[in-house]
Amino acid sequence: MADKLLEIKNLHVHYVTDGETVRAVNGIDLTIERGQTLGLVGETGAGKTTTALSILRMLPAYTAKIPQGEIYLDGNPILTMKEKELRKLRGSKASMVFQDPMTSLNPVYRVGDQIAEVIKLHEKKISRDELRERVGKILELVGIPAFRQYDYPHQFSGGMKQRVMIAIAIACRPELLIADEPTTALDVTIQAQVLEMMQDLKKELNSSILLITHDLGVVAAFCDYVAIMYAGEIVEYGTLEDIFDPTRRHHPYTTGLFGSIPNLTEKTDRLSPIAGLMPDPTDLPEGCKFHPRCPNCMDKCRTECPPVYHRGEHRIMCHMAADWGETTTVREEETK
């Protein structure tokens, strides 16, 4: 039993197509302890899904390259282990729930069979009757009547399909559940239901959860820790209080994020979004990747990549935080 459940060290992920290199993830460090829920927040294109897929080494085979980095799942070296061993971990030690439930289920097999598949892969000796019972119980756990295991995916609505996906993901009681924007494709009311269900599951299974989302409201309701991602880097990390407390120090991007959402208590005439757009991942800026949009940009920011300053568990990657926290060892420059 390793100390931490998930450890990601200095991960870099590139997509290489047709002569262009997309630098999706640029040196992130992340840890998740047992029983902890981490929210990974960022805009579209920040590199969140890529990070999630790398944990189980599920990036597209021909285009994705990992030039640097290490990932340890319960001590297992994910990036270097053999495929056969890795398959034993997928679905049982860690599993994923994907964003779009409409296309994530195989249309030609019954829903019960698809759940049964993951159980059979990891518990080969299980009997048919036991399997049927287990599948029924899991469906009940996610709020679907057990007899519906004989139905096909097209007979379910979007929200129910997502519940089936979650059922598949928890069938083998994984220690880590990676949920990539599980509610984005659903209506708000269904969203609430699914999240509530996930809360209950969290208590039942005592799994760790990596929740990827761009919705700060969901994070506030659900997570213990938060990591904010921008242009493939984690620009801020901390506990829920660290991030949501407006009186504490923040990365300018975080401030911008919170400024962009309407506040229920304050009255404002206009929202204050962040100027500009996320940089082109094939052509990232020099120095701090946020500097073109940062209202506090200094000369230093244009040329030097900022180190990570930390105070307690709270970490900020910004030159301005030099007076606020201490720095760890300087980040290794990416070896080309």
Partner 1 sequence: MLRFVAKRILMIIPTMLVVTLVVFLLINITPSNPGRIILGGDATEEQVAQLNHELGYDLPLLQRYGKWLWDALHGDFGQSYYTRRDVFEEIGARLPYTLKLTLLSLGFALLIGLPLGVLCATKQYSIADHSLSTLSMFLAAMPAFWLGLLLMLQFALAWTWFPAGGVTGGWKSWVLPTATLCVGYAASYLRYTRSAMLDNTRQDYVRTAMSKGCSGASVTWKHAFRNSLMTLVTLTGMSLSNLMGGAIVIESVFSIPGLGLMGVTAIRRKDVPQVMASLVVLGVFFMVMMIIVDIVYAYIDPRIRAKYQAGQYRNARIKKEAAE
Partner 2 sequence: MSTATPKKAVRQNSQFREVTRRLFRNKKAIFAMIVISLLLFMVIFADLIVPYSKAIDLNIPNRLKDPGKDFWFGTDAQGRDLFARIIHGSRISLMMGIFATLIQATCGTILGTTAAYLGGKADNIIMRILDMWMAIPSLLITLAIIAGLGVGVPQMISAIGFGGIPCFARVLRAAALGVVSQEYIESARALGASGPRIIRKYVIPNIVSQILIQATVNISGTILLGATLSFLGLGAQPPTPEWGAILSQGLGDFQYHPHLVTIPGIFLAITALSINILGDALRDAFDPKLKGKA
Question: Mapping DSSP to helix (H, G, I), strand (E, B) and coil, where does residue 213 land?
Answer: strand
Q: Contact region for partner 1 (CB under 8 A) — 71-79, 87-95, 228-236, 253-261?
A: 87-95
Distance CA 100, CA 97 (A): 9
By beta-carbon proximity to partner 2, the closer residue of 137 and 302 is: 302
Q: Does 16 participate in binding partner 1 (rule CB under 8 A)?
A: no
- Residue 81, phi then psi, degrees to nearest 5: -75, 165
Which of 5, 6, 32, 105 is in the footprint of partner 1 by CB under 8 A? 105
Cα 309 from chain centre: 23
The sign of the CA dihedral 16, 226, 218, 106 is: positive
Q: Please choose which of partner 1, partner 2, none residue 118 contacts, taking the beta carbon within 5 to 8 angstroms, the exact cut-off set by kind.
A: partner 1
66-93 in b/e form (b: 16+ CB < 10 A) is bebbebbbbebebeeeeeeebeebbbbb
What are the angstrom distances between the C-alpha of 260 and each of 70, 167, 210, 255?
34, 35, 24, 9
When asked if residue 98 is in the footprint of partner 1 (CB under 8 A), the reply is: yes
CA 313, 213, 183, 70 torsion-angle sign: negative
Decide if residue 168 touches partner 1 (CB under 8 A).
yes
- Would you say 146 or 278 has its CB closer to partner 2? 278
Q: What is the CA radius of gyration of the chain?
A: 21
Q: Which of 26, 50, 95, 149 binds partner 1 (CB under 8 A)?
A: 95
Q: List binders of partner 1 among 145-164 (CB under 8 A).
A: 152, 154-155
* Interacting residue ranges for partner 2, rule: CB under 8 A: 17-18, 62-63, 275-277, 279-280, 283, 285, 292-293
Please identify, using beta-carbon distances, which residue of 211 and 219 lies nearer to partner 1.
Answer: 211
- Per CB under 8 A, residues contacting partner 1 are 56, 58, 62, 83, 87-92, 95-96, 98, 100, 103-108, 117-118, 121-122, 152, 154-155, 165, 168-169
